[in-house]
Structure 1
Amino acid sequence: MRAVFAEIEEKIGYRFTDKTLLEEAFTHVTYAHQHGGKDNERVEFLGDTVLQFVITDYLYKRYPDKTEGELTRMRAELVCEEALLVVVKKLQIEEYLRIEGGKANVGKKTYSSLFETVAGVIYLDGGYESAKKFIFDSGLMDVVEKPRAKDAKSALQEYLQSLGKQPPVYQSEKEGKDNAPVFRCKATALGKTATGEGKSKKSAEQQAAARLLKTLQHKTSKK
């Protein structure tokens, strides 16, 4: 196990004083039921709280002009299953999870939760600053610093909902030849319009939504 622990520590960038915490973090409840020992559900619960606080503190200080609704949306993007799964796979730590019955049918939630679990045991072993460093060094913050284009439409709708406003209106048209079409889209909300274009209607709408969201957030921050 020492070699395995060393590999995990190298990947997460933290050396544990209490190695049993690391073992606990990578023990799924199914494995613990079969072989004994502690499972990682309690430390996942703790890690979720640590992660939420670190992210909330970061966003509050990093974006002083953002509204409560905007900050809530941004935090949701950072702690969602998809974002955490991306980071877990980037760190390449999912392979170390001990789980009974094989990993073929393991859901994404099980793997994404590993990030919260690791944050929890680092907090127990090294305190808040160590857990905070792990979260920042993991690359998770890139999710909000570099918004994903595929989330633009949902992000725009959530932003408008947070303001109690109607969803955006999209108008698209197709140009060019059938074998090389170009789609152009207009997205309108709150009296503002943004345009986008792409090789598909979906990509054009996403680009327009991203541009409109940026315009509306800039407008709000200047009030």
Structure 2
Amino acid sequence: MNEMQEKPLAGLEARIKYRFVNRELLDEALTHRTYVNEAGGKDNQRLEFFGDAVLDFLLSDLLLRRFPESREGELTKIRAALVDEVSLGRIAAELELGASLRLGRGEEKGGGRQKRSLLADAFEALLAALYLDGGIDPARRVVHELFEPLLDSPQRLSGRDAKTELQELARTLRREMPRYQLKEATGPDHDRRFTVEIYLGEELMGEGVGRTKKEAEQDAARAANLVLKGER
């Protein structure tokens, strides 16, 4: 690995306060499939799969300890809000994960380092690599440090989702109900991306992207909420 490649990785390790023993795990976590198509090696899809499970487990542990009186349904809603593409993409951006990614030329030109879905996947892969390299303790510490601040948000604590908020705003301000429309579904079956548009009457209020239709609808609702709040 040359100095130009090493510098972003060292910065990322500093931000998560962990230095990898097996640097190949870190490389794998940050390698997108488009890079592998051009240069060979391992992409991060297997680690992303494992990281998704590790994150669910560690967040469940965090929420059980933080909210010992909460019921299962409430905890599930909060966890779902924390692991959606928007939250993971923001956390990955805070870690400057995009600067460390290895991308194919086409993905690089297409702005892959800023794509929320790609950053969210890379964060899950990074968490898996961290767990495999150092065990549960450093992985738990990183999850707690990154996600505990989000639990101070009233919306996160209540599990109140963006679609519910939008429905209330639209009824109050426009006397209309939002309408969601699937615009497109792209990508292979194992890495599907859905794009959903949201309308009030005939007016397009926003667009959202997610790994499921529900996630895309939540993303679109957040965009529409910003528009309606500006009308207050």
Residue 118 (structure 2) aligns with: 110
* Residues 11, 93 of structure 1: 8 Å contact kept: no
Distance 1:171 1:13, change over 3 A: same
**Identical aligned residues as a percent:** 35
**1:17 Cα deviation (Å)?**
0.5
Q: 8 Å contact 1:21–1:121 — kept in the other structure? A: yes
Q: Residue by residue, what CA displacement relative to the aligned partner does 1:100-122 show, whole Å, maximum 9, x if unpaired?
A: 11152434211111211111000
What CA RMSD, in Å, does the superposition of the two structures yield over aligned residues? 3.1
> Are 1:141 and 2:145 an aligned pair?
no
Structure 1 unpaired stretches of 5+:
159-166, 174-199, 207-223
Matched, 1:24 2:32: no
> Structure 2: 5+ residue runs without aligned partners?
175-225
1:82 aligns with 86
Counterparts of 1:152 and 1:3 in 2: how far apart (Å)? 39
Q: Distance in 2 between matches of 1:79 and 1:89?
A: 14
Query: Is the CA contact (8 Å cut-off) linking 1:153 and 1:205 kept in structure 2?
Result: no
Measured after TM superposition, the shift of residue 12 of structure 1 is: 2.0
User: Partner of 2:69 in structure 1?
Assistant: 65
Choose from 106, 131, 140 the match for 1:132. 140
Check the 8 A contact 1:11/1:91 in 2, yes or no. Answer: yes
Moved over 4 A (4+): 167-173
Kindly provide the CA deviation profile for residues 31-81 of structure 1, in whole angstroms up to 9, marking residues without a partner as x.
Answer: 112111111001111111100000011111211221211111100111111
* Separation (CA, whole Å) in 2 of partners of 1:204 and 1:30: 39
Q: TM-score of the superposition, structure 1-length normalised?
A: 0.66
Instruction: Name the SS for the 1:23 alignment partner.
Output: helix
Tell me, in whole angstroms, the C-alpha distance in 1 between the residues paired with 2:128 and 2:66. Answer: 24
| Higher-Rg member (1/2) | 1
Aligned ranges for residues 144-155 of structure 1 at < 5 Å?
Answer: 144-147=151-154, 154=161
Question: Greater share of helix residues, 1 or 2?
Answer: 2
Partner residue in 1 for 2:196: none
Q: 2:11 aligns with which of 7, 16, 20?
A: 7
Q: Distance in 1 between matches of 2:59 and 2:53?
A: 10
Provide the C-alpha distance between the structure 1 equivalents of 2:150 and 2:227, rounded to a whole number of angstroms. 24
1:205 positional shift: 11
Cα deviation, 1:163-207, whole Å, max 9, x if unaligned, reads xxxx8696569xxxxxxxxxxxxxxxxxxxxxxxxxx9944999x
User: Partner of 1:97 in structure 2?
Assistant: 101
The structural deviation recorded for 1:155 is 5.6
